[in-house]
Structure 1
Amino acid sequence: MDPDRPDTSKGQPGIALAALFGLCPQCGAKTLYAGVARFAPKCRVCGLDFAKFDVGDGPAAFLILIIGALIAVLAIWVQLAFEPAYWVHVVLWVPLATLMTIGGLRVAKAALLASEYRNKAGEGRLK
Structure 2
Amino acid sequence: MSQDKPDIKEILVTVKALLEGIANKSKGSERYDALCGAFLLSVVDRELDFGARQDESQSGELQQLLGREGSLSDFYQQFCQQVRGGELDEQWPAAFDFAFKQVVDKVSVTNPKYLAEMHQPE
* Shared fold per TM-score greater than 0.5: no
Q: Which one has the bigger helix percentage?
A: 2
Which has the bigger relative contact order, CA under 8 A and spacing at least 6? 1
With normalisation by structure 1, the TM-score equals 0.31
With normalisation by structure 2, the TM-score equals 0.31
